[in-house]
Amino acid sequence: MAVLASGLALAGIMASCKPQELQYMDRLGRDVVLHQGDITVQLQLQKKGMLVLPEMAHTYYWYDKGKVNSSQAAYSGKVLHGLYREYDRAHKMLLVSGRFHKGLKQGRWLSWNAAGRLRQAEIYRDGELNGALVKYDSLGRPADTLNYRNGVLRERRPVDSHPADTTARKGLFNRLKAIFKGKGKHK
């Protein structure tokens, strides 16, 4: 009888809550903060009752006994689900930011160097790279772009640091193409 009364009381409280309060209550027990050496990790875990059926091809990230683990096709603990951030504790700088969906990396993931400049930007769908992965130099300028589709590298485009050289190469390429087609002048 006491259990029924407490359940009814909780239902009454939930019914009188605002949407923001319900979101906060939903996250209670899901938000985790870890301190690993010089790094602080903030993450969110799966919602109560969420069912995750692992697939063979995917790598799952999960939390157990105070640390984040990963494994292919399985997990043993609570899967990561929601925001994920790593900070440098000494300098209070953001190092990694991304999101998990049912233990799989999802959406845009960004990482920064110790100076706060972008180091890498990547896009995931269902735990696989899917889209542009951009690597940046130490000054935060794009240095290399890799394009992925469903985890498979499709194209690599190095960023030229000298645009004038690109024009010269295109001109040279066009001249060589004309020579091989017999339209160019030979000296």
Asked if residue 18 is part of any domain, the answer here is no
pTM of the model: 0.71
Q: Indicate whether 1 belongs to any domain.
A: no
* pLDDT(10) > 60: no
Task: Give the structural domain span for 90.
Answer: 31-180
| Model pLDDT for residues 88-98, shown as the tens digit of each residue | 999 989 999 99
Determine, yes or no, domain membership for 4: no
Residue found by looking up tokens 């996250």 in the block: 27
Asked if the structure places residue 87 within a domain, the reply is yes
Q: Of 79, 81, 84, which Cα lies nearest the Cα of 33?
A: 84
29-44 confidence digits (pLDDT tens):
799 999 999 999 999 9
- Cβ atoms of 145 and 132 closer than 8 Å: yes
C-alpha radius of gyration, the chain, whole number = 25
Q: Flag whether 14 is in a domain.
A: no
pLDDT class of 158 with cuts at 50, 70, 90: confident
Query: Is 5's pLDDT higher than 50?
Result: no
* 12 occurs within a structural domain: no
Which two structure tokens, joined as six digits, stand for 141? 């300028």
pLDDT value of position 159: 79
Domains of the chain: total: 1
Q: Which is it for strands 104-112 and 93-101: parallel, antiparallel or unpaired?
A: antiparallel
Q: Residues 108-126: pLDDT tens digits?
A: 999 999 999 999 999 999 9
Counting beta carbons within 10 angstroms of the beta carbon of residue 127, is it exposed (0 to 12), middle (13 to 18) or buried (19 or more)? buried
Determine if residue 107 is left, alpha or beta; phi over 0 gives left, psi from -120 to 50 gives alpha, anything else beta.
left
